[in-house]
């Protein structure tokens, strides 16, 4: 029997002290979710088929039952809060795919996500430390909406990366102190392949996102050079990438080469990939973690038909343990959750097994395997010696 399965669930792992990062994919707290929180924005939308954010509330209620409104700030995290308390991560990092604003300057792009600044305490309710902002929704309500988002996160004490008041600020890392001089640096980029418009790129004197126009060796080397200038010897570096389409398990050779180049040239510990609405395969390269697609973590898509085979209602929280001395991946626990009535719950055993089989299939294409552990969790395993020889 796996030794971890015999220990009490709240007992720390039997291994040397590690730096534990909690990594989640896209967190969309706008639209329907904003409407059930205490201080919603105007529900009017500018979509082809739905004209009110309240329609998304009705779809979710039709699918899974009524939502008592207003909900408390911590409601949306549900069962994940207990998992976070037990995990005790040193830092929690998400991709915030929502503008925090009451701006009415919507981008005419078909879908626009926002939540009110008064509802943003839902982020502090889960002790989020860092929001990656380089994505295809953070400017949904204009540059004024982006500036509101930056100001709100600053007020809440949440670090951000990937968007800023100018190009330099958008490209700067979020700095998360770990104590004893150690830090986590989070760099955030939005690739054109995720749907981020070119016009959203931050300029020398204009707000915008840290746009990644190509996944080339040259671009990876440029990014690596900046990271190496800015990092300190004990820093752990995370590169958060919003890239690729919403659906499909495929991982292109260009993505893999780009991720490998960042690890080779910048000694980063984690590639935190997202954009796909469902989880994708995981790779361990030179004992460093590559999450090609974390999948959505929170959204208001319940009751929307299409792509059911991907099980977008099943979401994952990744708990990565990094060795402080080498900054290599020491372990990866995966917590399955499910979205129900805009809230995270623990899924049924059959759904956890579906996730295990899917991840095993997709990860095996890249090397690692996935096994079940206690309490409905999953764990990644890999050949560390083979990974180090890449």
**What band does 314 get if pLDDT is binned at 50, 70 and 90?**
very high
Rounded to two decimals, what is the model's pTM? Answer: 0.94
Amino acid 3: pLDDT: 35
Instruction: Read off the pLDDT of residues 129-184 as tens digits, 9 standing for 90 and up.
Output: 999 999 999 999 999 999 999 999 999 999 999 999 999 999 999 999 998 888 99
Instruction: Read off the pLDDT of residues 61-79 as tens digits, 9 standing for 90 and up.
Output: 999 999 999 999 999 999 9
**Closest residue by Cα to residue 336 from 292, 307, 294, 289:** 294
C-alpha–C-alpha distance, residues 243 and 265, integer Å: 20
Q: Which domains does the chain have, with CATH numbers?
A: 27-388 (3.60.21)
Percent of the chain residues topping a pLDDT of 70: 95
Amino acid 112: pLDDT: 97
Torsional sign, CA 48, 51, 54, 58: negative
- Given a cut of 90, is residue 317 above it in pLDDT? yes
Instruction: Provide the phi-psi class of 182: left if phi over 0, else alpha when psi is between -120 and 50, else beta.
Output: beta
∠ CA 332-82-134, rounded to 5°: 60
Instruction: Read off the pLDDT of residues 108-125 as tens digits, 9 standing for 90 and up.
Output: 999 999 999 999 999 999
């Amino acid at each position: 029997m796996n030794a971890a399965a015999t220990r009490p669930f709240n007992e720390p792992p039997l291994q040397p002290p590690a730096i534990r990062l909690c990594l989640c994919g896209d967190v969309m707290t706008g639209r329907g979710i904003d409407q059930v929180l205490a201080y919603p924005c105007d529900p009017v939308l500018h979509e082809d088929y739905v004209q009110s954010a309240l329609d998304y509330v009705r779809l979710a209620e039709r699918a899974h039952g009524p939502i008592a409104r207003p909900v408390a700030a911590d409601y949306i995290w549900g069962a994940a809060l207990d998992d976070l308390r037990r995990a005790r991560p040193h830092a929690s990092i998400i991709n915030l795919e929502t503008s925090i604003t009451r701006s009415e300057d919507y981008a005419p792009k078909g879908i626009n996500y926002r939540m009110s600044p008064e509802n943003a305490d839902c982020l502090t309710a889960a002790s989020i430390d860092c929001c990656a902002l380089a994505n295809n929704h953070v400017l949904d309500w204009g540059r004024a909406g982006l500036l509101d988002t930056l100001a709100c996160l600053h007020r809440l004490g949440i670090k951000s990366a990937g968007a800023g008041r100018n190009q330099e600020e958008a490209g700067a890392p979020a700095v998360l102190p770990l104590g004893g001089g150690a830090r986590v640096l989070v760099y955030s980029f939005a690739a054109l392949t995720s749907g981020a418009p070119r016009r959203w790129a931050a300029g020398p004197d204009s707000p915008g996102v840290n746009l990644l126009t190509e996944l080339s060796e040259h671009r990876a080397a440029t990014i690596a050079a900046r990271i190496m200038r800015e990092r300190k010897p004990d820093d752990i570096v995370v590169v958060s990438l919003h890239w690729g389409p919403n659906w499909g398990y495929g991982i292109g050779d260009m993505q893999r080469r780009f991720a490998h180049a960042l690890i080779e040239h910048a000694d980063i510990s984690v590639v935190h990939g997202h954009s796909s609405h469902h989880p994708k395969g995981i790779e361990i390269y030179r004992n460093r973690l590559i999450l090609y697609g974390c999948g959505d973590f929170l959204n208001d898509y319940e009751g929307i038909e299409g792509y059911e085979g991907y099980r977008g209602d099943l979401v994952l929280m990744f708990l990565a343990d990094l060795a402080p001395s080498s900054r290599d991946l020491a372990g990866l626990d995966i917590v399955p959750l499910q979205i129900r009535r805009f809230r995270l719950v623990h899924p049924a055993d059959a759904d956890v097994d579906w996730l295990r089989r899917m991840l095993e299939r997709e990860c095996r294409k890249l090397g690692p395997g996935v096994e079940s552990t206690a309490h409905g969790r999953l764990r990644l395993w890999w050949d560390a010696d083979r990974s180090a020889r890449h």
